[in-house]
Homo-oligomer: A and B are copies of this chain.
Amino acid sequence: MAERLIYLPLGGAGEIGMNAYVYGYGAPGKERLILVDLGVTFGDMDGSPGIDLIMPDIAWLVENRSRLEGIFITHGHEDHLGALGHLWSRLDVPIYARQFTGALCRLKLEEAGLPGEAVNITGPRPEVTQLGPFTVQFVPVSHSIPESAALIIDTPAGRIVHTGDFKLDGTPVVGDPFDPIMWHEIASEGRGIKVLTCDSTNVFSTHPGRSEALLANPILEWVMAQKNMVIATTFASNIARLKTLSEAAIASGRKVCLLGRAMRRMVSVGLETGVLTDFPDTISPDEAAAMPRGKVMLLVTGSQGERRAASAQLSRGRYLGLSLKEGDSFLFSSKTIPGNERPVGRIMNAFSELGVDVYDADDGLFHVSGHANRPDIEALHDLLKPEIVIPMHGEHMHLREHVQIARAKGLGAEIVTNGTMIDLGGERPRIVDQVETGRLYLDGSVLIGSMDGIVRDRIRMALNGHALVSVIVDEDDNVLPDAWVELMGLPGRTRSGEDLARHIEGELSEFLESADNRTVRDDAKMDEAIRKIARQVSMEEIGKKPEVTVIISRLMAD
Contacts and interface: CB of A to CB of B under 8 A. Distances in A.
Contact of A488 (B339, B345, B461, B484): B461
Interface string A492-525: 1111000000000000000000000000000000
A491 B553 contact: no
Nearest to A458: B489
Interface stretch (A5-13, A54-62, A444-452): A444-452
A111 to B, nearest CB: 14
Interface size class of A (residues with CB under 8 A): 35 or more
Contacts of A461: 458, 461-462, 466, 488-489
Contacts of A345: 338, 395
Contacts of A547: 488
Interface stretch (A42-50, A139-147, A256-264, A369-377): A42-50
Contacts of A351: 397
A444 B338 contact: no
A488 B465 CA distance: 12
B491 A448 contact: yes
A213 to B, nearest CB: 26
SS of A interface (majority): mixed
Contact of A397 (B352, B362, B492): B352
A443 interface: yes
A358 interface: yes
Contact of A495 (B348, B445, B492, B493): B445
Contacts of A396: 349, 352-353
Nearest to A548: B488
Contacts of A488: 457, 461, 466, 547, 549
Interface in A18-56: 44-47, 49-50
A67 interface: no
Given A50-B463, A445-B543, 12 more contacts: A45-B45, A45-B46, A45-B459, A49-B462, A338-B341, A352-B397, A444-B539, A446-B494, A446-B543, A454-B491, A461-B462, A480-B555
Q: Which 8 residue pairs spanning A and B have beta carbons closest together?
A: A445-B543, A444-B543, A444-B544, A462-B462, A458-B489, A49-B462, A338-B341, A352-B397
